[in-house]
């Protein structure tokens, strides 16, 4: 059997522990083995292997390179060393033993001492492959994840030793943890306390001094206040200054050592808000037995007390972001200036996002060559989110890898790779900054919402029920996107379940109005999934639930927002009421009241923008849309706000900003058909653009794939597929393709022959095509028919460019 050793470097060993130096040990083939050895037993696809190791060779050449590498490995190590099943490649652990696989199995089996003994150093430490930036990124992620698993195991081993009363052994485990994470104040504090408790005060002081010196020498940082205070206490007292962990933990276990508490505490861990659970980093999700009871007890108490134990690690705010200087992975390290420029541009762009606090360029510059781990850097900078990256030249292109890391756990949240020609460096900087900012805002928004919710009630049961209901609502939203009507019915059933959970939450804490408000928003979600004309009952139910909250809390801003939104949805459905109706006016009044009480309500601003757009107050609508975006800190519902901002600028004939909002929507919501529809609309409305019929019809095909006509009909916007074809027909007419324009018009008229509502909707699109074909009289006739049937549209469409052009012609005649 051969042994693949990946901790501390990379090498192949024979049975007698001598190194294998054949062709299989060639660096790129050894990298292939490393990928297979560090990946799950289910294997790795050929496509993934080619992307990691031969990124610049193209698919066909890369696959040939992979086939050759596998042939050499099998020849050198044995035919069965690497197995292939279809497109999947896996390492045969019976022929090639891998230390990473052993480590992971030991962790899974809870044999933590064995895991600690296997870990001989960082994964692929100091080992790299030329011209393989994706492999570099992958190995960095694996290295960090394995190191985090080791630190978690060492922390748990130290805790178990403390529980057993073996303080010397606990100190040994903490000492190793301190070597793995030398800049962490929490680790050195635990080490010093364990040493002092075991009678080794001099060693405890020495550990604190080494930590302080390392911080100053390596990172130019002062130690934390907790380290300073513990050092002073140890120097100034004769008796042990410790908080007696063994006694306090034993007391907590004794308190919990009843059948009732043992049954309650594991459930408490699941119920407490994630922001509290994740604070207890030493008691990771892998804890079992006594550690689970301790973790549950601490978490349960943290959720209900204002004085958490000072020995627990501090949790850093995720909106506090540190962008570390990017690494230069190019051959000869010739891209350092570009790496620095990208870093500083990203810092600048993120600093413009009002919801983020970004460490300055000078604040991170001292860590450029720092060997510290991610969580140690986070502790030093007090940042809950870290951004790391690297640059690599790939022929005539620049490849940039950017990773977002949770500063509290050290785990990779997201990784993106950008590749552009070297000449497009400026555009790449903008892409990277926008992408990272969007990811941060959306990710932080979810956790911020949960933290806010947990402050609204003291009932763990009510909070748990509400969070479960929100998860169910999200599931329903995803299911409701599918085209088949059975999926829509499934979404409706799931929403009924969510409503039941919220009713239970109301019962668990009758004073908490949040479940009632959520029930109202759920009703509006049900209305969106149903055809608007069939969902009036759901809209009215939302209105009633808002009234219920206002009866109890007359100044509840969100209740006004909910009621205003519900009233507007009811007023603005197809052929329901005009924008000047009493219900519409009451909706606007509710929203203005909500915003007067709380100007940070992004949904309120966005809905008000929609009302003002429909009413023809375009300039004020544009201001409201801008306020919505400014207040939408976490991009929660920004899709509607982006679209309203686009629509306002379109109506004002400000095509350049309209196009920017459209592009922003495509970037943030690449799977939303609406932001391809806005691009298509601009092609028709902006007369400065050269008509591109090929692009127009490719957009139609893309939207039909994202939003098939069957789904559009099932989810209440059956007109959208017709609209996009009508707009593309107008672009074709403007481009000179009269035959296709006429053919598409005939097909559209035929498709709505049995639906009087859709037939009326289509009149405007046909008028636009007739105008582009030069058939002005027919275009006017169609508009007259539309306004005769729907007189309320006159105010709304008064500033539509096509109608302005037609009106000018009438006046001149």
In a domain, 600, yes or no: no
Residues 268-287 pLDDT 10s? 334 433 333 333 333 233 23
pTM equals: 0.51
441 and 471 assigned to the same domain: no
Q: How many CB atoms lie within 10 A of CB 528?
A: 17
The answer on 470 and 439 residing in a single domain is no
Residue 301 has pLDDT above 60, yes or no: no
Give the mean pLDDT of 430-434.
72
pLDDT band for position 445 (50/70/90)? low
Condensed to tens digits (0 to 9), the pLDDT of residues 791-811 reads 777 666 666 777 777 653 333
**Spatial CA neighbour of 453 closest among 502, 411, 526, 524:** 502
CATH number at residue 563: 1.25.40
**Helices 674-685, 719-734: inter-axial angle, 10-degree rounding:** 30
In a domain, 628, yes or no: no
Where residue 647 falls among pLDDT bands split at 50, 70, 90? confident
Q: State yes or no: pLDDT of 174 exceeds 70.
A: yes
Is residue 676 domain-shared with residue 800, that is, in the same domain? yes
Q: What is the pLDDT of residue 652?
A: 78
Verify that 737 and 797 share a domain, yes or no: yes
Question: Of the ranges 25-29, 546-550, 643-647, which is most confident?
Answer: 546-550
User: Do residue 386 and residue 498 come from a single domain?
Assistant: no
User: In the block, which residue shows the tokens 């020495």?
Assistant: 206
pLDDT band at 267 (very low <50, low <70, confident <90, very high): very low
Residues found in the chain: 813
Q: What is the CATH number of the domain that holds 182?
A: 1.25.40.10
Picking from 425, 451, 477, the residue at the C-terminal end of a domain is 451
CB-CB contact of 509 with 489 (8 Å): no
> Is residue 46 in some structural domain?
yes
Q: Is position 631 within any domain?
A: no
Asked, for residue 602, whether it belongs to a domain, the answer is: no
The rounded radius of gyration (Å) of the Cα atoms in the chain is 31
pLDDT at 274: 36
Cβ neighbour number for residue 243 with a 10 Å cutoff: 12
Give the end of a domain, one of 542, 575, 608.
575
> What's the CATH code of the domain at 67?
1.10.10.10
Q: Quick check: is 182 in a domain?
A: yes
Average pLDDT, the chain: 77
Do 229 and 250 fall within a single domain? no
Residues 732, 779 share a domain: yes
Decide which of 314 and 1 is more confident.
Answer: 1
**DSSP code for 74:** H
Q: Specify whether 492 is located in the same domain as 433.
A: no
Smallest Cα–Cα separation from 158: which of 136, 174, 137? 174
For 356-368, the pLDDT digits (tens) are 788 988 888 888 8
Specify if 749 maps to a domain.
Answer: yes
Q: In terms of DSSP H, where are the helices of 290-335?
A: 290-302
Among 71-75, 212-216, 445-449, 673-677, name the one with the lowest average pLDDT.
445-449
CATH of the domain at 326: 3.40.50.10070
Alpha carbons within 13 angstroms on the beta-carbon side of residue 517 total 20
Q: What span, in angstroms and rounded, lies between the C-alpha atoms of 149 and 127?
A: 21
Residue 619 has pLDDT above 90, yes or no: no
Residues 671-684 as b/e (b if ≥16 CB within 10 A, e otherwise) read ebbbbbbbbbbbbb
Average pLDDT of the residues in 456-476: 81
Same domain, 423 and 532: no
- The residue with greater pLDDT, 484 or 515, is 515
Contacts of 796 (CB under 8 A, 6+ apart): 579, 613, 614, 615, 616
Same domain, 430 and 506: no
Among candidates 169, 143, 145, which has minimal Cα distance to 158?
169
Q: Which residues pair with 385 in a beta bridge?
A: 321, 406
Mean pLDDT of 180-201: 85
What's residue 795's pLDDT?
A: 63
Q: Is residue 568 one of the residues assigned to a domain?
A: yes
Final residue belonging to a domain, choices 451, 476, 498: 451
Number of independent structural domains in the chain? 6
543: Cβ contacts below 8 Å, ≥ 6 apart: 563, 566, 567, 570
Q: Looking at the structure, do residues 490 and 409 belong to the same domain, yes or no?
A: no
Please say whether the beta carbons of 630 and 603 come within 8 A: no
- Which of 12-26, 122-136, 162-176, 243-257 has the least mean pLDDT? 243-257
- pLDDT band at residue 812 under the 50/70/90 scheme: very low
Q: Which of 93-107, 146-160, 426-440, 577-591 has the lowest mean pLDDT?
A: 426-440
Residue-level pLDDT at 726: 95
Range of the domain at 191: 165-236
Residue 99 predicted with pLDDT over 80: yes
Name the DSSP class of 589.
H
Question: Do residues 388 and 478 both lie within one domain?
Answer: no
Tens digit of each residue's pLDDT (9 = 90 or more) over 9-45: 888 877 655 555 555 557 888 888 889 888 866 688 8
């Amino acid at each position: 059997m051969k042994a693949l050793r990946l901790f501390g470097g990379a090498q192949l060993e024979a049975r007698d522990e001598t190194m294998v130096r054949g062709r299989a040990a060639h660096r790129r083939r050894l990298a292939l083995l490393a990928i297979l050895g560090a990946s799950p037993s289910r294997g790795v696809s050929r496509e993934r292997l080619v992307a990691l190791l031969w990124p610049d060779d193209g698919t066909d050449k890369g696959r040939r390179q992979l086939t050759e590498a596998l042939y050499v490995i099998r020849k050198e190590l044995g035919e069965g060393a690497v197995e292939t099943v279809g497109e999947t490649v896996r390492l045969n652990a019976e022929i090639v033993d891998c230390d990473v696989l052993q480590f992971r199995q030991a962790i899974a089996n809870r044999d933590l001492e064995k895991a600690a003994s296997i870990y001989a150093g960082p994964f692929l430490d100091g080992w790299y492959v030329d011209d393989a930036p994706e492999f570099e990124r992958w190995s960095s992620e694996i290295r960090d994840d394995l190191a985090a698993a080791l630190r978690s195991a060492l922390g748990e081993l130290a805790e178990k030793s403390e529980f057993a009363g073996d303080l010397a052994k606990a100190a040994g485990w903490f000492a190793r943890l301190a070597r793995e994470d030398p800049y962490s104040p929490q680790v050195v504090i635990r080490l010093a306390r364990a040493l002092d408790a075991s009678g080794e005060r001099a060693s405890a002081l020495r550990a604190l001094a080494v930590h302080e010196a390392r911080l100053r020498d390596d990172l130019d940082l002062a130690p934390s206040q907790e380290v300073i205070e513990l050092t002073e206490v140890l120097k100034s007292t004769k008796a042990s200054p410790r908080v007696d962990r063994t006694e306090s933990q034993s007391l907590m276990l004794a308190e919990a050592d009843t059948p009732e508490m043992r049954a309650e505490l594991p459930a408490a861990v699941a119920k407490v808000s994630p922001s509290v659970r994740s604070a207890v980093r030493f008691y990771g999700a892998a804890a079992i037995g006594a550690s689970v009871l301790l973790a549950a007890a601490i978490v349960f108490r943290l959720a209900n007390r204002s004085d958490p134990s000072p020995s627990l690690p501090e949790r850093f705010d995720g909106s506090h972001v540190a962008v570390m200087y990017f690494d230069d992975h190019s051959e000869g390290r010739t891209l350092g200036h570009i790496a620095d420029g990208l870093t500083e541009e990203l810092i600048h762009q993120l600093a413009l996002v009002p919801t983020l606090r970004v460490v300055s360029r000078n604040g991170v510059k001292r860590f450029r060559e720092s060997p510290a781990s991610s969580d140690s850097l986070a502790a030093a900078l007090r940042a809950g989110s870290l951004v790391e990256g690297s640059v690599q030249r790939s022929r005539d292109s620049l490849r940039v890898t950017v990773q977002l890391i949770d500063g509290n756990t050290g785990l990779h949240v997201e990784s993106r790779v950008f590749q552009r020609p070297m000449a497009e460096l400026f555009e790449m900087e903008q892409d990277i900054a926008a992408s990272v900012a969007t990811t941060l805002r959306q990710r932080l928004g979810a956790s911020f919402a949960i933290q806010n919710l947990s402050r609204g009630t003291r009932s763990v049961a009510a909070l748990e029920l509400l969070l479960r209901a929100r998860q169910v609502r999200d599931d329903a939203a995803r299911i409701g996107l599918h085209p088949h009507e059975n999926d829509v019915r499934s979404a409706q059933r799931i929403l009924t379940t969510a409503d039941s959970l919220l009713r239970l939450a109301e019962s668990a804490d009758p004073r908490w109005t949040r479940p009632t408000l959520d029930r109202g928003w759920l009703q509006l979600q049900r209305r969106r999934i149903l055809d608007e004309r069939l969902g009036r009952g759901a809209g009215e139910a939302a209105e009633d639930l808002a009234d219920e909250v206002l009866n109890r809390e007359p100044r509840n801003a969100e209740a006004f927002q909910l009621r205003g939104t519900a009233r507007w949805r009811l007023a603005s459905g197809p052929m329901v009421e005009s924008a000047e109706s009493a219900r519409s006016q009451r909706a606007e009044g509710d929203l203005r009241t909500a915003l007067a009480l709380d100007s940070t309500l992004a949904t309120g601003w966005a809905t008000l923008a929609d009302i003002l757009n429909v009413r023809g107050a375009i300039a004020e609508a544009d201001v409201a849309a801008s306020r919505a975006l400014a207040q939408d800190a976490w991009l929660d519902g920004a899709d509607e706000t982006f679209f309203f901002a686009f629509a306002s600028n379109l109506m004002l004939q400000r095509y350049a900003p309209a196009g920017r909002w459209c592009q922003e929507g495509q970037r943030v919501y690449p799977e939303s058909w609406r932001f391809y529809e806005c691009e298509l609309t601009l092609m028709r409305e902006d007369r400065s653009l050269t008509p591109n019929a090929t692009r127009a019809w490719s957009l139609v095909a893309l939207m039909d794939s994202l939003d098939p006509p069957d789904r559009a009909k099932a989810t209440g916007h059956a007109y959208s597929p017709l609209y996009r074809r009508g707009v593309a027909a107008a672009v074709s007419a403007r481009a000179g393709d009269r035959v296709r324009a006429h053919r598409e018009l005939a097909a559209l008229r035929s498709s709505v022959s049995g639906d009087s509502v859709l037939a009326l909707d289509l009149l405007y699109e046909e008028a636009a095509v007739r105008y582009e074909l030069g058939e002005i009289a027919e275009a006017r006739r169609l508009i007259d028919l539309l306004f005769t049937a729907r007189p309320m549209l006159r105010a709304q469409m008064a500033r539509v460019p096509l109608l302005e052009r037609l009106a000018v012609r009438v006046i001149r005649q």
